[in-house]
């Protein structure tokens, strides 16, 4: 027998697919995409050398917690090769704009700023807008100072006879004489293009002059107008020369109001930014012919681990993608040309996209450095303004903190929900739910209910039953969610030793649909939980009207309140507490507020709480209660009015809603109809119609 090979052999562990990809990356320009375990793209970047750039993420120590977290989530990488760094830049920015990956720089405006648009029409219009459309029109702005935008627009309309109408003026419409001149023509504010009183060439020459003004090229425009004025005077067109002279004077006054910051009269943009923790603000200052004509800022987040070059790269791409005018120079701070973010790539992008060479400069001294410092100071001011706005949003009013202290709550009652029942002699019983967030009404979360269980055994209004119903309908979905996400411990026996939080979706479905859960529900004290669930309406009256137990997600009903206020005394409070306990939500903060003496009752307490009447907390409760009462009364009145109108006329056989409305409009009220039927039936029959009159007469006499 041959001898067995007894030498020890080592078996190499299989390589991770990601490691294999990292080892086979090319040394060419391109973009790379990092993906998580679900295949979702979490970061997009570009590189001159894909191999070196991508491998650096895994070989060097991360510089911040966000980058560390991103690297821990990477499960795959995909690359796209490009022929040049310029192509990789364009592809990267387009993908970021489209995909918005989680770990890329995110630029956002704090509001929608207005533009001035010159429309793409045979006879263009000039007007302000906040929406940009890809319709060939030319947009100027955005204007962060709306007052400055309005001043510019007013000045343009005074200087140039631009139409303000929205007519679709075409050559065909002019030839067919479809339109007539309006008052604007007669007061010399428009040259009448609707009737062809001005040629399209001359009109578009005027819009070209408007473009120059909006681009800040007023100095060159004034020179052109001066030449036109001299030609008109030489040709003895003195009226035309006078109009041009007045235009020159107005433009001169306009340009004198602009601040001169540079004496080289070049068109340039100054870009700088301020970064603080995970937030940043970038500012662009526009200088045309040496004068400041405008500025723009962007707020940026997810920048904690980002290089200055990457931040500026995103700002430049976003800003100039949205603007039609490209300056001669762009000035950037010292740290702009860092890492993989090269200014050379952007120079190529401008040439390829706009057909214009732009000089990027990083000033070292002189007035240019001072301008960069001024722009940075403005960016700092805007970032501080953002932080101040956040503080205002997070501000907790004193009344909310006082209420927490007065009621000895475990957490701030930021979301307060108050419930009130409204009825008159047991009819049209309704309930209201009002919501206060941080001491202020949140009307989008208000809800109203039509009560089904309004009467007791002897047919009288039962406010306690009504309160039980509305609380059950409000909180039952939250109770069901709580059972699914945190099922009782016995349910897990036989299902292994998994923690409920570790169960996946399929296991939860299997668990919650099992007979064990049905038995558990039936064994709990739930005031006929399953019975109520099958007989009551889905939730509030705002929900879909398909009937049954169909449920559509409701942001107000899916939110747990910090404090529940019941408008009523101990009886209503006890009813609400009983329902919450039966459905497994006994840990909620709930109080009752009696109307008579403004007494506050807590569950289980026989006496009212002693809260100072001057406390801002009790005043907040009163405002909440009064708002709930107002909302319930308003809903009740609307239902009562509808019911009264229907019972009087629409319930008559043969009288529909439209006929009833016509009759009420004709005679004023149902009482007037009854009187006229009894006293002057013939006249009533003429006005109401023979068939309707006969049916109403039978109804009145019955």
Tens digit of each residue's pLDDT (9 = 90 or more) over 356-393: 888 888 888 888 888 888 888 888 888 888 887 777 66
pLDDT band at 547; cut points 50, 70, 90? very low
If you average pLDDT over every residue of the chain, what do you get? Answer: 77
pLDDT at site 47 = 83
CA dist 323 and 693 (Å) reads 70
Q: Which residues contact 199 (CB under 8 A, 6 or more apart)?
A: none
Give Cβ neighbours of residue 497 (< 8 Å, ≥ 6 apart). Answer: none
Residue 170 neighbours by CB under 8 Å, 6+ apart: 122
Question: Poorest-confidence range of 88-97, 162-171, 246-255, 275-284?
Answer: 246-255
Q: What's the pLDDT score for residue 456?
A: 57
Phi then psi dihedrals of residue 456, to 5 deg: -90, -165
- Tell me the DSSP string of 441-478: E-GGG-EEEE-S--B-TTS-B-HHHHHHHHHHHHHHHH
Q: What pLDDT score was predicted for residue 416?
A: 92
What pLDDT, on the 0 to 100 scale, is given for residue 433? 92
Is 70 exceeded by the pLDDT of residue 207? yes
R_g (Cα) of the chain, nearest Å: 37
Q: Summarize pLDDT for 265-287 with one digit per residue, the tens.
A: 678 888 999 988 888 898 888 88
User: Is 642's pLDDT higher than 70?
Assistant: no
**What band does 435 get if pLDDT is binned at 50, 70 and 90?**
very high
Lowest mean pLDDT among 283-292, 382-391, 404-413, 544-553: 544-553
Name the pLDDT band for 454 (thresholds 50, 70, 90): low
Spatial contact of 540 and 393, defined as CB atoms under 8 Å apart? no
Q: In this predicted structure, what is the pLDDT of residue 492? A: 33
**What is the percent of the chain with per-residue pLDDT over 70, rounded to a whole number?**
79
Locate 614 and state its tokens: 């001057």
pLDDT (0 to 100) of residue 529: 43
Which of the two residues, 485 and 104, has the higher pLDDT score?
Answer: 104
CB atoms within 10 A of CB 111: 8
- Res. 577: pLDDT tops 60: yes
Domains and CATH numbers, the chain: 17-104 (3.40.1440.10), 268-392 (3.30.420), 400-638 (3.30.420.340), 652-701 (no CATH)
Cα dist. 449→309, 469, 547, 561, 615 in Å?
Answer: 57, 10, 15, 18, 32
pLDDT at residue 495 is higher than 50: no
82: its two tokens: 């490009």
Between 454 and 165, the more confident residue is: 165
pLDDT for 231:
84
Mean pLDDT along residues 323-334: 83
Give the other-Cβ count within 10 Å of 547's Cβ.
Answer: 8
Host H or E run for residue 319:
helix 308-321
How far apart, in whole angstroms, are the C-alpha atoms of residue 80 and residue 33? 9
Partnered with residue 434 across adjacent β-strands are: 418
- What Cα–Cα distance (Å) separates residue 250 from each residue in 154, 255, 563? 12, 9, 63
What does the alpha-carbon distance between residue 34 and residue 253 come to, in Å, rounded to a whole number?
56
Binning pLDDT at 50, 70 and 90, where does residue 256 land?
low
**Rounded average pLDDT over 50-72:** 80
Question: What CA–CA distance (Å, rounded) separates 202 from 204?
Answer: 5
pTM of the model: 0.52
Q: Which residue, 594, 628, 587, is CA-closest to 611?
A: 594
Burial class of residue 502 in the structure, from the number of CB atoms within 10 Å of its CB (0-12 exposed, 13-18 middle, 19+ buried): exposed
Cα 567 off chain centre by = 34
> Average pLDDT for residues 97-115, to the nearest whole number?
75
Would the pLDDT of 526 be above 50? no
Closest CA to 584 of 467, 477, 501, 434: 477
Q: How confident is the model at residue 507 (pLDDT cuts 50, 70, 90)?
A: very low
Q: Is the separation of the CB atoms in 462 and 421 below 8 Å?
A: no
Query: Looking at residue 419, what is its pLDDT?
Result: 92
- Confidence label for 558 from pLDDT (cuts 50, 70 and 90): confident
Residue 436 has what pLDDT? 93
């Amino acid at each position: 027998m041959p001898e067995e090979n007894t030498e020890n052999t080592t078996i190499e562990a299989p390589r991770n697919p990601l490691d294999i990809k990292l080892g086979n990356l090319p040394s060419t320009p391109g973009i790379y995409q990092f993906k998580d375990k679900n295949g979702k793209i979490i970061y997009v970047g570009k590189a001159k050398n894909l191999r070196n750039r991508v491998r650096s993420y895994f070989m060097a120590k991360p510089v911040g917690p966000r980058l560390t977290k991103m690297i821990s989530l990477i499960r795959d990488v995909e690359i796209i090769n490009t022929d040049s760094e310029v192509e990789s830049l364009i592809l990267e920015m387009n993908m970021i704009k489209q995909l918005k990956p989680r770990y890329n720089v995110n630029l956002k405006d704090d509001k929608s700023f207005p533009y001035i648009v010159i429309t793409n029409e045979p006879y263009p219009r000039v007007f302000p807008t906040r929406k940009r459309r890809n319709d060939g029109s030319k947009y100027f702005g955005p204007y962060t100072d709306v007052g400055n935008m309005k001043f510019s627009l007013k000045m343009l309309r005074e200087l140039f006879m631009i139409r303000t109408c929205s007519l679709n003026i075409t050559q065909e419409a002019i030839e067919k004489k479809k339109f007539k001149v309006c008052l604007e023509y007669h007061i010399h504010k428009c040259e009448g293009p609707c009737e062809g009183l001005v040629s399209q060439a001359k009109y578009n020459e005027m819009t070209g002059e408007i473009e120059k003004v909006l681009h800040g090229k007023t100095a060159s425009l004034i020179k052109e107008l001066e030449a036109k004025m001299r030609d008109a005077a030489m040709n003895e067109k003195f009226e035309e020369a006078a109009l041009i002279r007045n235009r020159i004077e107005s433009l001169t006054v306009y340009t004198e109001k602009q601040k001169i910051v540079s004496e080289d009269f070049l068109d340039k943009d100054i870009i700088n930014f301020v970064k603080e923790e995970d937030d940043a603000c970038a500012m662009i200052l526009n200088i045309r012919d040496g004068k400041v004509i405008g500025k723009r800022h962007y707020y940026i987040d997810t920048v904690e681990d980002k290089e200055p070059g990457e931040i500026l790269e995103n700002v430049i791409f976003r800003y100039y993608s949205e603007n039609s005018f490209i300056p001669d120079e762009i000035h950037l701070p010292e740290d702009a040309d860092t890492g993989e973010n090269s200014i050379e790539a952007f120079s190529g992008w401008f040439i390829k996209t706009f057909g214009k060479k732009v000089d990027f400069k990083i000033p070292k001294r002189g007035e240019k450095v001072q301008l960069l410092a001024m722009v940075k100071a403005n960016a700092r001011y805007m970032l501080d303004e953002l932080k101040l706005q956040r503080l205002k949003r997070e501000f907790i009013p004193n009344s909310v903190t006082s209420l927490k202290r007065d009621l000895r709550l475990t957490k701030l009652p930021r979301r307060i929900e108050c419930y009130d029942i409204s009825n008159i002699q047991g009819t049209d019983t309704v309930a209201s739910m009002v919501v206060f967030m941080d001491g202020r009404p949140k009307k989008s979360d208000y809800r109203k209910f039509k009560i089904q269980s309004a009467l007791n055994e002897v047919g009288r209004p039962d406010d306690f039953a009504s309160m039980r119903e509305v609380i059950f309908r409000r909180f039952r979905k939250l109770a069901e969610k709580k059972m699914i996400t945190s099922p009782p411990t016995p349910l897990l026996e036989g299902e292994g030793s998994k923690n409920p939080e570790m169960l996946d979706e399929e296991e939860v479905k299997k668990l919650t649909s099992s007979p064990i859960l049905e038995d558990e529900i039936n064994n709990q004290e739930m005031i006929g939980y399953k019975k109520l669930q099958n007989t009551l309406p889905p939730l509030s009256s705002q929900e879909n009207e398909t009937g049954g137990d169909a449920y559509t997600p409701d942001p107000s009903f899916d939110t747990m309140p910090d404090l529940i206020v019941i408008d009523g005394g101990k009886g209503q409070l006890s009813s609400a507490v009983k329902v919450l306990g039966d459905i497994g939500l006994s840990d909620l903060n709930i109080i009752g507020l009696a109307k008579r003496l403004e007494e506050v009752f807590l569950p289980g307490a026989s006496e009212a709480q002693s809260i100072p009447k001057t406390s801002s907390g009790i005043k907040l409760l009163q405002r909440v209660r009064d708002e709930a009462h107002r909302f319930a009364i308003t809903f009740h009145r609307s239902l009562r009015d509808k019911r009264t109108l229907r019972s009087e006329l629409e319930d008559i056989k043969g009288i529909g809603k439209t006929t009833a409305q016509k009759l009420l409009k004709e005679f004023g009220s149902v009482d007037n109809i009854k009187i006229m039927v009894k006293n002057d039936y013939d006249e009533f029959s003429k006005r109401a119609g023979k068939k309707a009159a006969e049916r109403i007469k039978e109804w009145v006499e019955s």
